[in-house]
Amino acid sequence: MTRYGTVYQSGTQRRSIGCFRFGVDIARSGALGELQTLHCYYHNGPTCPPQPVETAPRGFDYDMWLGPAPLEPYTARRCHGTFRWIYGYSGGQLTDLGAHFVDLAQWAYGDEPTSPTEYEGWAEFPRDGLWNAPVRFEVTATYPDGVKIVMHDEPEPGRGPRGNKFVDTEGWVSVDDTGKVTA
């Protein structure tokens, strides 16, 4: 701060948005009973047909961008925002949005230094094309006390936008990407 007169902060923006904090606070308060299941609702992963090899744009150091990843021919759909759908660079919806949704679930759980110790799930991968991260999935992670985080590839039927749902023994609270809180 002294040298440049600037303060830098990094984190998941959802912890700073009132609706998400409100949902987490309700889940943690005990007002709805004891916490049982933390749901994370994503969208299905996208697909992309095979892409033609292109010349990297002038000034774009593609070798530097690849870093330690295996050498692959350049195509614009391999880079920039869509790299997240290729396993060589990311893990699809689970790692892209997972950082945000699982962070809220962990926050609602209330013991940030603790993590689940058992994981099980399934995934469906594209049969062909450029992108190879899962397009459908469900993963259940279980804490030592039996509380579960369930990561779904799509919202509940009729639910609408992506978001989180925290289920307690006496009720539930849900918050989604539109800012809507439901209990």
Which CATH number applies to 13-52+91-182?
3.30.360.10
User: What pLDDT score was predicted for residue 1?
Assistant: 62
User: What pLDDT score was predicted for residue 67?
Assistant: 92
Q: Tell me the average confidence (pLDDT) per consecutive run of 10 residues in the chain, 183 residues long.
A: 79 85 94 95 91 96 93 94 91 88 92 90 95 94 96 74 92 91 89
Tokens of 175: 């918050």
Strand boundaries in the chain, DSSP class E: 35-41, 118-124, 136-142, 148-152, 163-168, 171-176, 181-182
Question: How long a stretch of residues is the chain?
Answer: 183
How does pLDDT run across 12-32, given as a tens digit for each residue? 778 888 999 999 999 999 999
